[in-house]
A and B are shown apart, each in its own frame.
Chain A
Amino acid sequence: QSALTQPPSASGAPGQSVTISCTGTSSDVGRYNYVSWYQQHPGKAPKLIIYEVTKRPSGVPDRFSGSKSGNTASLTVSGLQAEDEADYYCSSYASDNYYVLFGGGTKLTVL
């Protein structure tokens, strides 16, 4: 099982919206509603920002939203702020043989 596919980079100006894609297969993203998204600032541990495709943990701003269509999940960050500049990783359950697959990560730059 290969890692999920994310674009290596994305960017947007403050106040704009940006969407990051995460493409898997019918065996992982397409089969299960267990897609999560993590934000990681340099030198820090990852932080959960979206789970089960669309749900936000307590304390995560509603500027972060998730969706899924077929084998591709997406994270949208609206009203970009400077502190949103970070690496973003998607993950998906992929059956007990593979448990969780991560994407390769997307570096989000706020211009």
Chain B
Amino acid sequence: EVQLLESGGGLVQPGGSLRLSCAASGYTFSSYAMSWVRQAPGKGLEWVSAISTDSTYIFYTHSVKGRFTTSRDNSRNTLYLQMNSLRAEDTALYFCAKGGAAAGYSFDSWGQGILVTVSS
């Protein structure tokens, strides 16, 4: 059974930093692209970032480019999202999701989400 478990969220002041982690199990992590998707309170889904299997390709939505960095450690089966210069509008539930180009740009497994709150 595929399991994705996010951690590292919390309350941070505007301009601060957080690092999210997503621990994967139940499948061959290194064989699948991964993404981060967020959902602001009471709002819809927003794709944030994607990373290919070997980290060769990394994509970001425009609003986080230059502030967020996605990486993965295939030896630890873990996906990361380093978030810097955080803004109030980054407040959201952050999901890690399995899938990408090879899956028709669909996400077939999701974590339970981790809450990031940016507020003074």
Residue from B44, B61, B95, B108 within 8 A of A57 (CB atoms): B108
Contact B44 A45 (CB under 8 A): no
Contact A96 B95 (CB under 8 A): no
Contact A102 B44 (CB under 8 A): yes
Residue from A46, A93, A96, A100 within 8 A of B110 (CB atoms): A46
In this complex, what residue of A is CB-closest to B59?
A99
Min CB gap A3→B, angstroms = 7
Contact B45 A96 (CB under 8 A): no
Contact B44 A89 (CB under 8 A): yes
Contact B104 A100 (CB under 8 A): no
Contact B44 A104 (CB under 8 A): yes
Interface string of B78-120 (1 = CB under 8 A from A): 0000000000000000010001000111111011110000000
Contact A45 B113 (CB under 8 A): yes
Residues of B within 8 A of A57 (CB): 108
Cα A88 to Cα B89 in complex, Å, equals 23
Knowing A45-B95, A99-B50, say if A36 contacts B106 (CB, 8 Å). yes
Residue from B47, B61, B108 within 8 A of A48 (CB atoms): B108
Contact A45 B111 (CB under 8 A): yes
Contact B44 A34 (CB under 8 A): no
Residues of A within 8 A of B99 (CB): 48
Contact A103 B105 (CB under 8 A): no
Contact B47 A45 (CB under 8 A): no
Could you tell me which B residues sit within 8 Å of A by CB distance? 35, 37, 44-47, 50, 59, 61, 95, 99, 103-108, 110-113
Could you tell me which A residues sit within 8 Å of B by CB distance? 3, 32-34, 36, 38, 40, 45-48, 51-52, 55, 57, 89, 91-93, 96, 98-105
